[in-house]
Structure 1
């Protein structure tokens, strides 16, 4: 993005943030440099800037120490338009600030520094513009994985172990503080969201129907998907519903590879991960996060041949951490977990229709304003996407998910 923000993102602002986060009023910022972190189409609800600040602070007497610190500024859209309107109506920034400064902070403390789920929130500004300042995870060695062909088994296993810790810690927190459940009830699919949110899913699904009309192997499903498109958001609402008698957790709410950063050893093998973007957290069935990940992020080989390994890793870790945290709630058995996922299979279908193509397409062209205002949605010219959909569509049809 163009860094027009420099009128307010200046030495004074950065000094205020550092004094607040470090608890040290002697901090004097001497220089800052700014760089955009995301490209068009990478991040739909915010603009993200990295600040590298040089500053000094008092030690003893007249002695000063100098340091450099890198931070991430996540800014709510400032340019007037459909994107700004939607993000404001959704309350994304308020939700993320609440999650990170309260619930997630407590979850991190339960798990300890070895298994941190997220970076630290350093500063919240509620207007002119609305923004969050977050710890920069890049200096700690975390970065995005290559998303062009999906995550391999090693990345996927790490991600699901991390998700299991997230879910287990949320159960422990909700047992101690039941009101936490009420703080996270919106998520992505909710009747209270503005119509523009629904339109994104409708337009994406219609674009899929148009696309597969050109694929001889599955073109017969094009008409069904076209008819389904106007109802797809309500199907998502129904699949996301909270049932108190089920096993429930606080879901990340948008658990896919763009929101998982990995750390690597010298051989390039992933050894750790951490999560970002907590704007859509929701208390509901863990099937939401599991379907989000399984239907958007693993490679074709992993999801086709190693799904059982991922579910075993998730459940083993979930059970172990819940026991370690002395949760009274019992984790599901594998049989129950598979039943939970099957009951909400329509949620996985929607992720395949609408999130998977974003993950597999080139990092170009479309942003949220384009999609809302013009309905433009470019499906990726990706063999992986086509192969997956050719395999999945007959299954969705067999399960009755394509019928109204």
Structure 2
């Protein structure tokens, strides 16, 4: 049974399942919410390979305020300090970046949406974040109580889920242009300064080489030769795509936009709403990288053949319509022609991302990768289904002329 602790307003929340810093964070939230007496229920959450940079918990606070009974549901993402020493990524900075999005950025955008009287169903759908979020923990509403659940990383992507995801992504990207219009100084100081946290160092280069070699083990003939020729170019091309020149950057990008980072809600058994989560890798870049990332890390070859072009159209149509609600012309700030050109130019980013993330995408649930010792110690023990997905990705890029 999960721990349930009876507390009163002067307790220090001595709950061993929460680290001391987080205890104080929760205590502050409980005080602000006006609890007089309460019980605290803490549960650990297992993701089976959907999260590597933190441990997850839910906290339920049930009790009384001066106005009567009250219940509060929180979701915690706690930093794993050992992972914080990854040389390719500053994990503490990643937590601060995600905290910035939830604590500040999305609240500013909500204020703008209020100003323009945007109906709730048309707004960017985000999880409420708490100001007590810091470099140790991300504290959010537990939206599972609203019917949202994590997407299964081995689940089958449907067109409807992808459509809901791309609609939200278009609004996320549009947000940058809207904030630039409403708060130009804030945009210059806080959004344009969001850089990628990835370090393209020797550890990362070795990781790409290792995953390339693993990929080539399953290929034969022309496909294997073409991938072998492409692999030496990957490090430079990948770096150029995520560390683009300031004049080529367009808006805030998610940086890790894949099905694992969606929360899905169903109505009568059908997908009805999604929330995008996990903004630790957000940076000021080019929006097509998010689309490409999702398409190749979340779909198979048949899905891409049947739906990729339609999803691109849906994305840009949503982007255009959403901006118009704030008096902004998409053709002026990021034209359809530029969008199409960028997508075509950067499409091979999908091949690089697929190869880079294979060990995480297809990790067997009984042999999940561990990052305490960095990428150098990463095992490449994957579920067998990665082979068919890899062959489909490589075949697509041969057909399209990128390999």
Of the candidates 41, 57, 72, which is equivalent to residue 69 of structure 1?
Answer: 72
Superposition map of 1:1-400 within 5 A:
5-6=17-18, 8=20, 14-20=26-32, 22=33, 24=34, 27-39=35-47, 41-59=49-67, 65-78=68-81, 80=82, 83=85, 88=90, 91-109=93-111, 110=113, 113-114=120-121, 115-126=123-134, 130-178=136-184, 179-184=186-191, 185-188=193-196, 193=199, 195=201, 199-200=203-204, 202-216=206-220, 218-221=223-226, 223-225=228-230, 227-228=232-233, 232=235, 234-243=236-245, 248-266=250-268, 268-327=269-328, 330=332, 332-355=334-357, 358-364=360-366, 365-369=368-372, 371-382=374-385, 383-395=387-399, 398-399=401-402
Alpha carbons 1:295, 1:348 under 8 Å: kept: yes
1:261 deviation in Å? 0.9
Would the alpha carbon gap of residues 84 and 112 (structure 1) be closer, same or farther in structure 2, given more than 3 Å must change? Answer: farther
1:123 deviation in Å? 3.6
Q: Deviations over 1:232-267 (max 9, x none)?
A: 2x422211344555571211221111111111011x
Alpha carbons 2:216, 2:224 under 8 Å: kept: yes
Write the distance in 1 (CA, Å) between the matches of 2:245 and 2:204: 26
Write the distance in 1 (CA, Å) between the matches of 2:346 and 2:374: 27
Aligned residues: 377
Query: SS of 2:73's equivalent?
Result: strand
Write the distance in 1 (CA, Å) between the matches of 2:87 and 2:248: 35
Query: SS of 2:381's equivalent?
Result: coil
Q: Give the CA RMSD over aligned residues.
A: 3.0
Write the distance in 2 (CA, Å) between the matches of 1:377 and 1:105: 40
Q: TM-score, normalised by structure 1?
A: 0.82
Alpha carbons 1:149, 1:360 under 8 Å: kept: no
Query: 2:10 maps to which residue?
Result: none
Alpha carbons 2:348, 2:397 under 8 Å: kept: no
1:308 deviation in Å? 1.0
1:350 deviation in Å? 1.8
Q: Deviations over 1:359-386 (max 9, x none)?
A: 3444442132265251323344115423
Write the distance in 2 (CA, Å) between the matches of 1:5 and 1:83: 23
Alpha carbons 1:153, 1:298 under 8 Å: kept: no
Write the distance in 2 (CA, Å) between the matches of 1:10 and 1:81: 18
Alpha carbons 1:200, 1:371 under 8 Å: kept: no
Q: TM-score, normalised by structure 2?
A: 0.82
1:177 deviation in Å? 2.5
Alpha carbons 1:10, 1:32 under 8 Å: kept: no
Alpha carbons 2:301, 2:396 under 8 Å: kept: no
1:86 deviation in Å? 6.3
1:303 deviation in Å? 1.3
1:87 deviation in Å? 5.8
Contiguous gaps of at least 5 residues in structure 2: 1-14
Q: Which has the higher mean CA deviation after the structures are superposed, 173-182 or 247-256? A: 173-182
Contiguous gaps of at least 5 residues in structure 1: 60-64
Would the alpha carbon gap of residues 357 and 310 (structure 1) be closer, same or farther in structure 2, given more than 3 Å must change? Answer: farther
Would the alpha carbon gap of residues 8 and 82 (structure 1) be closer, same or farther in structure 2, given more than 3 Å must change? Answer: closer
1:299 deviation in Å? 3.9
Query: SS of 1:355's equivalent?
Result: helix
